[in-house]
Structure 1
């Protein structure tokens, strides 16, 4: 199944669970794309003693998972894209939704 995941939060537990879901879906053979928007564009470097979001992002990347980060949301935070979370657009988000069999939001 093709799963699109939209993450809009940088709350540690929610974003950690979203990325755990993405990792688990990849490990069980699904095609997965993640789109980060709003404050979620900050999750690549988020660590917490219980909810290590950055580790889940790294695990997803190591499974060749695709993460896209909203360029407008990055720019509003004076951030740039990265190799793991490249700059994308709302058109990319729409295309991900069209591509996906199911879309999950966090």
Structure 2
């Protein structure tokens, strides 16, 4: 195992807010971690599933979502939370379950919740 492999961690980020700056910063962290070689998953929960629809000139959340996926990040959204809001999965974000969130939480070396 190389020194690079030894430093690679699995990072889980649970995003529970539709606040544009918080969502933008959470995704920026995810991008940085993915580009640094870490295995990163972001799970949108509660209001977090609204993040893709945020329109903010200063904090372009949709652009950061696309960059996160392009960097190799895994982006998932709570299916129940989407259904409550009459929303669907998108090209960047798959509809997922609590079992998927549990997998992220139990398999990650570190989990960060942003709400």
Bin the TM-score by the shorter chain: over 0.9
- Structure 1: distance between partners of 2:46 and 2:103: 18
Aligned to 1:74: 82
Give the SS at the match of 1:69: strand
Encode CA deviations 1:40-59: one digit per residue, 9 max, x unaligned: 11112323111111111010
- Structure 1: distance between partners of 2:52 and 2:93: 8
| Structure 1 spans left out of the alignment, 5+ residues | none
Q: Would you say 1:23 and 2:22 are equivalent positions?
A: no
- Structure 1: distance between partners of 2:54 and 2:62: 5
Give the SS at the match of 2:76: strand
RMSD of aligned residue pairs (Cα, Å): 0.9
Which has the larger Rg? 2
Superposition TM-score, scaled by structure 1 size: 0.95
Which consecutive aligned stretches of 4+ in structure 1 deviate over 2 angstroms post-superposition?
A: none
Encode CA deviations 1:71-97: one digit per residue, 9 max, x unaligned: 000000000112311110011000111
Figure out how many residues of one structure are paired with residues of the other and give that number: 106
- Structure 1: distance between partners of 2:82 and 2:53: 14
| Structure 2 spans left out of the alignment, 5+ residues | 1-8
What are the within-5 Å matches in structure 2 for residues 1-106 of structure 1?
Answer: 1-106=9-114
Superposition TM-score, scaled by structure 2 size: 0.88
